[in-house]
């Protein structure tokens, strides 16, 4: 079984090499090197220390974060391989609300870890906290063979506030090709399932079959994986737990043409059939960038769920070539609001938004809910890999997403050839993440910033895909108390939902 058969559309290796060959002469002819700069002061929270010649260095991708109390834990891939996974999983932890960070890498994970583990590669980290057992959990994938699997689902645990981590615990080692794991824990003491942790993943071997595994002991042991009654075909779910213990899982269908949602009301013993939350329409992105359209989901104090993704429906009904940021919400995971466009930029501007990372202050709710959203954007779609300029943006809302602040530029511009090359394009991140310390007035996003490689134009070999050792793409955040949740008067807008023929869209794929 080959990974390449997983999706109905993908960038092939031949396509990438043709594209980059065309731009190579253009890029190398540029005498001056454009230097990344930030509109805000940035804090680098990690860097890639590995030197194995089989993956790109120095590179970090795919960040996730979670905040509980004054502790913020972030995690990410470190040392990206061309055809999937990384040399290890990194972490960076702040115990003072984002003022300072302690960084490191998971032990006993990959063969490059200290001490070494059994897996050649690791991927797809996500982070959660279980207050009942006082355990931080990073879930990740252990890749034994990047082409055929098996790929195991694992967790590493921390019992000292995210500062050091245990050897991995197996969530699922069925021998199948598992993908896109995400973990959450029930952190409400009044919930009947307080202390339950849930890990979602999909089984590629079984046609992207959704899988849910539950732990009741702080991630030490995990129950047998369960699926939905209709054996749903999905990718990229982010489970969330309401105060009453109901688990809601917003997720893409496996072709990334719809946002679905399913749930459990009995602590993960059974799961419902998915319902349609929204049609997903994506018009592709420039710059040969890898950018799957995965949802970013969060929950407020009342249990309302918020989901953001990138979508083209408000841009000339997907005929303009660019994508916006869209938001839907639900109080029960069954009934969802119509999609509204987050006004990060005007309709018709030609700005292309991608890879959102949403945060919701879990001490706020409803019409007073505080939201923070980090994302990447291209100022124009009329560009090539040699000319496209990727930036990091941020917007916030103080009224549950009804209105938003003006967009703020956090970093950029970056050129896509500065990023590690993968089988699916130049990779900056498959997903981003933002966290808000409950009750705080500022946000802590984590995102990747790329600088020019030491030997331009690219840190990877553009003709063969061979990895390079002189990339400069690392994990950054903004200093504590700098990025305030201010909201604003820019109204989110809706409108009639127009179906767009799938043949006109460029469905993006995702893999580890």
Rg (CA), the chain: 21
Residues in contact with 376: Cβ distance below 8 Å, sequence separation at least 6, in sequence order: 291, 353, 354, 355, 390, 391, 392, 393, 428, 429, 432, 447
Q: Which pLDDT value is given to residue 508?
A: 39
Residue 431, by phi and psi: left (phi above 0), alpha (psi -120 to 50) or beta?
beta
- The architecture (CATH level 2) of 3-504 comes to 6 Propeller (2.120)
Q: Which pLDDT value is given to residue 512?
A: 77
Supply the pTM of this predicted model.
0.92
Residues in contact with 217: Cβ distance below 8 Å, sequence separation at least 6, in sequence order: 133
> Which tens digit of pLDDT belongs to each residue from 49-75?
999 999 999 999 999 999 999 999 999
> Which tens digit of pLDDT belongs to each residue from 26-37?
333 332 223 333
Of 229, 180, 190, 231, nearest to 210 (Cα)? 231
Q: Which pLDDT value is given to residue 496?
A: 54
Contact 336, 330 (CB under 8 A): yes
Distances (CA, A) of 123 to 85, 179, 370, 464, 479: 5, 9, 31, 23, 27
Q: Which pLDDT value is given to residue 119?
A: 98
Task: Give the pairing of strands 433-435 and 324-330.
Answer: unpaired
Burial 417-426 (b: 16+ CB within 10 A, else e): bbbbbbbbbb
The ranges of the chain with pLDDT < 50 are 1-38, 501-508
In angstroms, the CA 358 to CA 456 distance is 33
Q: What is the largest CA-CA distance in the chain?
A: 64
């Amino acid at each position: 079984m080959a990974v390449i058969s997983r999706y109905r559309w993908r960038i092939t290796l031949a396509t990438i090499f043709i594209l980059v060959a065309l731009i190579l002469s253009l890029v190398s002819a540029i005498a001056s090197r454009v230097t990344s700069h930030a509109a805000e002061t940035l804090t680098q929270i990690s860097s890639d220390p590995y030197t194995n010649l089989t993956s790109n260095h120095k590179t970090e991708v795919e960040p996730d974060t979670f905040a509980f109390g004054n502790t913020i834990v972030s995690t990410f891939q470190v040392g990206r391989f061309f055809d999937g996974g990384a040399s290890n999983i990194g972490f960076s932890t702040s115990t003072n609300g984002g003022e300072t960070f302690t960084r490191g890498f998971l032990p006993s994970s990959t063969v490059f870890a200290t001490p070494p583990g059994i897996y050649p590669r690791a991927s797809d980290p996500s982070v959660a906290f279980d207050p009942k057992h006082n355990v931080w959990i990073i879930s990740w994938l252990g890749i034994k063979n990047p082409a055929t699997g098996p790929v195991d689902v694992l967790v590493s645990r921390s019992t000292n506030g995210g500062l050091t981590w245990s050897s991995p615990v197996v969530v699922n080692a069925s021998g199948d090709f598992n993908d896109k794991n995400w973990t959450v824990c029930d952190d409400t003491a009044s919930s009947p399932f307080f202390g339950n942790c849930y890990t979602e993943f999909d089984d590629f071997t079984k046609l992207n079959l959704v899988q849910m595994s539950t732990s009741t002991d702080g991630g030490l042991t995990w129950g047998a994986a369960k699926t939905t009654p209709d054996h749903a075909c999905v990718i990229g779910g982010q489970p969330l737990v309401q105060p009453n213990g109901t688990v809601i899982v917003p997720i893409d269908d496996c072709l990334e043409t719809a946002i679905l949602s399913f749930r459990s009301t009995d602590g993960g013993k059974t799961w419902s059939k998915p319902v349609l939350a929204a049609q997903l329409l994506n018009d592709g992105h420039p710059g040969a960038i890898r950018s799957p359209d995965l949802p970013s989901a969060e929950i407020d104090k009342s249990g309302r769920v918020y989901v953001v993704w990138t979508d083209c429906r408000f841009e000339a009904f997907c005929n303009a070539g660019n994508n916006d940021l869209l938001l839907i919400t639900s109080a029960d995971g069954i009934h969802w609001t119509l999609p509204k466009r987050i006004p990060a930029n005007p309709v018709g501007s030609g700005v292309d938004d991608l890879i959102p990372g949403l945060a919701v202050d879990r001490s706020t709710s409803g019409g007073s809910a505080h939201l923070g959203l980090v994302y990447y954007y291209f100022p124009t779609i009329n560009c090539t890999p040699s000319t496209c300029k990727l930036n990091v943006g941020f917007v916030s809302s103080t009224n549950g997403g009804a209105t938003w602040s003006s967009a703020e530029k956090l970093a950029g511009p970056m050129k896509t050839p500065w990023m590690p090359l993968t089988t699916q394009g130049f990779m900056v991140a498959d997903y981003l993440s933002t966290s808000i310390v409950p009750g705080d007035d500022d946000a802590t996003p984590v995102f990747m910033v790329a600088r020019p490689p030491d030997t331009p134009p690219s840190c990877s070999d553009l003709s063969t895909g061979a990895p390079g050792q002189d990339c400069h793409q690392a994990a950054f955040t903004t200093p504590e108390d700098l990025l305030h949740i201010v909201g604003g008067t820019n109204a989110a807008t809706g409108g009639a939902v127009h179906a767009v023929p799938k043949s006109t869209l460029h469905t993006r794929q995702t893999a580890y």
